Structure formats: structure tokens, C-alpha cells
């Protein structure tokens, strides 16, 4: 049994990690911590955990952490992971970071969207943890930058088109809708129940911090620099992302069955990507609490529309993090996830 720790256990991603890890056959949660007013049992923060997890959740003590665990999940806010990572890497731990701190390889971009980067050295070592595209690198890695939720839904949705050079890369428009856990667990007026319930809105239009991550990864796939149009929206549901992606085919005619086949082939060995049959489309209900990314495709003359659905807390965060651990640790890739 591998000993794993969750740092940032009181946020939604941390909570979800613990739910998943409790069911994992090959590892044991040995330590949890988070920014807390006082040390309490994890189950006092989350009463569902009574009888499931008997650990105390205290503030981070890096020495305790290093002693207690071999695999460490960091579910910390952006800009704080990089304070913790260096010492864990030095201690030779397997580190899976769910924050954005090590996702952008270009420090200038990081600085533009977040702040100055404080750990450029380890930035170079981070492997972008999208297993469907980078499994081989992940296998050999010890330090993973776990992808963002929106980017996961978008990159998996577009990878086959970009790798096959099918589309005009200047045409990509992404209209995403996310459940409210995506906005985190800190109370604020904008996330107050009565403000979200029965409401729906766009936010951070072309200004969301996940844009540079998408641009970086999609550009890699396309082999040249591209910029997406990205409009996120807030859904009055707890969990789930549905991204509707609009693109234009370049220079030739395609049919929907051709594209569906291409996607099915592209993902044929992937357990966690399910390409829908021609004429069928995903819904967030079908991926909630699961590590799947469901993809549906519509083609109309030279337009391709991709609809991609994930659970933002699972394939978009904690589930994908566990998938990465499974790959690194040589566990069955689906362990704890199916």
C-alpha cells in the first residue's frame, strides 16, 4: 500500500481526492492537511467522512508531510503550490500538483495571468498530466502539473482535429459551462446560493486564466501558435463542465461519420474518453462522479462542432490526478476510478 497525502484537503478538489482515494485498492491516505483555523478531524470539516477517514487535518507542516507520505497531491490555490513543491521534489517525493503553478512553461505567461514565478527550476521538470496525450512522459515523471478543468475538456475535444491538421486553427471558439464547484469553496456574494440558483451568466470573457493553458497545449498539438476565443459560463449545478467548441474545416469537405470514426480511432485505447456515435451528444449527468470525458461531434458543411463533457472535480481535477498517480506508480490506470 502506497502512502498518499492530500494537501489542501478542505477545498472541493481535496475533498474529491479523498473520496476517490478511499476507494483505491493500492494506496492508503496517510496524511491530510489544509489551511485551517484549528486542527480537527477531517470528518469534522466533512461529516460524510465519519467512519471513512479517521485522520486529523492540521495546517501544513512540511516535515510531517515528507515523513508521512510517498505520493503527495497538492490541491492548493494557485500561487501557493510553488512554495511547497521545491522541498517535496528535493525529498524525492512523487508530487501531483492540481494548481496552475507548473502548467505554463512560459514564465512570462505565468506572470501575466498569475504573478511572478518563484520556482522556475522545477517548472522545467513538470510534466503536463494529460494521460491521453502524454502517457509515456507521465510514466517516467515524478512531478506532474495536473491540467485545469476547462483545458481538459477542450484539449481532449480538439486533439484529433489538430493532430490531423484538419481545421483552420484561427477559427476555434470555445463556449464552456461549468458547475459551481469549479469556482471553489470560499464564500462570496457571487457564489451565494440565491445568486447562483436559477441564474446563468458568462464571466471572464476572453479573460479566464485557463486560456494560456489551452493556447499552449493546443498550439503544441497543432504545431503552430494559435489563440482561442474562450467564454466560460457559470451553471447552477454542483459539478460538470460542458464545452461546445466551434471550428472550421480547412480546405476540404468532411462528413460527420468520417470525423466520428477519426475520433474513435484516435481514442480507441483510451478507457476514459468515450466518443459518442454519430448523432449522439454528451450530457454532464453521464460523467458526474466519473473520470470520463464524453465527446460528441456534429459536422455541417465546413463547420465542425465538438461537445465535450467532464466532471470538473474528477477528470477535471482529482480523478485525473489519481489517473496520473496510477500511471506513475504502475497501478492499473483505472484503479479507484471505475
| Catalytic site positions | 149
User: Using the rule CB under 8 A, is 300 a contact of its own copies?
Assistant: yes
Q: Which stretch binds its own copies (CB under 8 A): 74-82, 127-135, 151-159, 286-294?
A: 286-294
Query: Would you say 64 or 203 has its CB closer to its own copies?
Result: 203
User: Is residue 58 close enough to count as binding its own copies by CB under 8 A?
Assistant: no
What would the x/- binding string for its own copies be over residues 69 to 108, using CB under 8 A?
Answer: ----------------------------------------
Per rule CB under 8 A, count of chain residues that contact its own copies: 68
Residue 85 pairs in a beta bridge with none
Residues 305, 237: contact at Cβ < 8 Å? no
Assigned C-alpha cell, 45 = 470539516
Residue 220 or 271 with smaller CB distance to its own copies: 271
Which among 54-62, 66-74, 127-135, 225-233 is the span making contact with its own copies, rule CB under 8 A? Answer: 225-233
In contact, 98 and 318? CB cutoff 8 Å:
yes
The angle subtended at Cα 308 by Cα 245 and Cα 166, nearest 5°, is: 50
Piece in contact with its own copies (CB under 8 A), picked from 127-135, 147-155, 161-169, 179-187: 179-187
Q: Which stretch binds its own copies (CB under 8 A): 82-90, 153-161, 242-250, 320-328?
A: 242-250
Of 141 and 242, nearer to its own copies (C-beta) is 242
Residue 289 backbone class (left: φ over 0; alpha: ψ -120 to 50; beta: rest): left
Q: Do residues 48 and 72 touch, judged by C-beta distance below 8 A?
A: no
Where residue 76 falls (left for φ over 0; alpha for ψ -120 to 50; beta otherwise) is: beta
C-alpha–C-alpha distance, residues 235 and 252, integer Å: 36
What would the grid cell of residue 205 be?
470573457
Residue 157 in grid coordinates: 475535444
Nearest distance from C-beta of residue 228 to its own copies, angstroms: 11
Q: Which is nearer to its own copies, 59 or 334 (CB)?
A: 334
Maximum CA pair distance of the chain?
Answer: 62
- Cα–Cα distance measured from residue 125 to residue 85, given in angstroms and rounded to the nearest whole number: 11
Least distance (Å) between residue 70 CB and its own copies: 24
**The binder of its own copies chosen from 40, 59, 115, 206 (CB under 8 A):** 206
Beta bridge pairs of residue 2: 27
**Closest CB 167 distance from its own copies, rounded Å:** 14
Chain mean position to CA 286: 18
Q: Does residue 251 interact with its own copies by CB under 8 A? A: no
Q: Which secondary structure element, helix H or strand E, spans residue 157, and what is its range?
A: helix 149-163
116 lines the binding site for its own copies (CB under 8 A): no
Binding of its own copies at residue 209 (CB under 8 A)? no
Rg (CA), the chain: 20
- To the nearest 10°, report the CA torsion of 79, 327, 28, 124: -30
Residues in touch with its own copies (CB under 8 A): 12, 22-23, 46-48, 50-52, 173, 175, 177, 180-181, 185, 187-189, 191-203, 205-206, 229, 231, 233, 235-240, 242, 244, 246, 271, 274, 276, 280-290, 292, 294, 296, 298, 300, 303, 305, 307, 338
Amino acid at each position: 500500500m502506497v502512502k498518499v497525502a492530500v494537501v489542501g484537503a478542505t477545498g472541493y478538489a481535496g475533498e474529491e481526492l479523498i473520496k476517490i482515494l478511499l476507494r483505491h485498492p493500492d494506496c492508503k491516505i496517510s496524511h491530510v492537511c489544509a489551511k485551517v483555523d484549528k486542527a480537527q478531524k477531517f470528518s469534522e470539516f466533512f461529516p460524510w467522512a465519519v467512519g471513512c477517514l479517521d485522520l486529523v487535518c492540521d495546517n501544513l507542516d512540511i516535515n510531517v508531510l515528507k515523513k508521512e507520505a510517498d505520493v503527495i497531491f497538492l490541491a492548493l490555490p494557485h500561487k501557493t503550490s510553488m512554495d511547497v513543491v521545491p522541498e517535496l521534489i528535493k525529498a524525492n517525493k512523487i508530487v501531483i500538483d492540481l494548481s496552475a503553478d507548473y502548467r505554463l512553461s512560459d514564465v512570462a505567461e505565468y506572470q501575466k495571468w498569475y504573478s511572478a514565478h518563484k520556482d522556475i527550476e522545477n517548472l522545467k521538470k513538470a510534466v503536463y498530466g494529460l494521460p491521453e496525450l502524454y502517457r509515456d512522459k507521465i510514466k517516467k515523471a515524478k512531478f506532474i502539473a495536473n491540467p485545469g478543468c476547462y483545458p481538459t475538456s477542450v484539449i481532449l475535444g480538439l486533439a484529433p482535429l489538430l493532430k490531423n491538421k484538419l481545421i483552420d486553427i484561427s477559427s476555434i471558439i470555445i463556449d464552456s459551462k461549468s458547475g459551481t464547484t469549479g469556482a471553489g469553496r470560499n464564500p462570496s456574494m457571487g457564489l451565494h446560493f440565491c445568486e447562483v440558483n436559477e441564474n446563468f451568466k458568462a464571466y471572464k470573457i476572453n479573460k479566464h486564466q485557463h486560456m494560456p493553458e489551452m493556447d499552449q497545449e493546443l498550439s503544441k498539438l497543432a504545431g503552430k501558435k494559435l489563440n482561442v476565443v474562450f467564454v466560460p459560463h457559470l451553471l447552477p449545478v454542483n459539478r460538470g463542465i460542458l464545452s461546445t467548441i466551434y471550428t472550421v474545416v480547412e480546405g476540404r469537405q468532411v462528413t460527420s461519420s468520417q470525423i466520428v470514426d477519426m475520433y474513435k480511432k484516435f481514442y480507441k485505447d483510451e478507457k476514459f474518453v468515450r466518443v459518442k456515435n454519430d448523432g449522439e451528444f454528451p450530457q454532464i449527468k453521464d460523467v458526474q462522479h466519473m473520470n470520463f470525458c464524453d465527446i460528441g461531434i456534429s459536422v455541417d458543411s465546413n463547420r465542425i462542432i465538438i461537445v465535450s463533457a467532464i466532471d470538473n472535480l474528477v477528470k477535471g481535477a482529482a480523478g485525473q490526478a489519481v489517473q496520473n498517480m496510477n500511471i506513475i506508480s504502475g497501478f492499473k490506470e483505472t484503479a479507484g476510478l471505475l
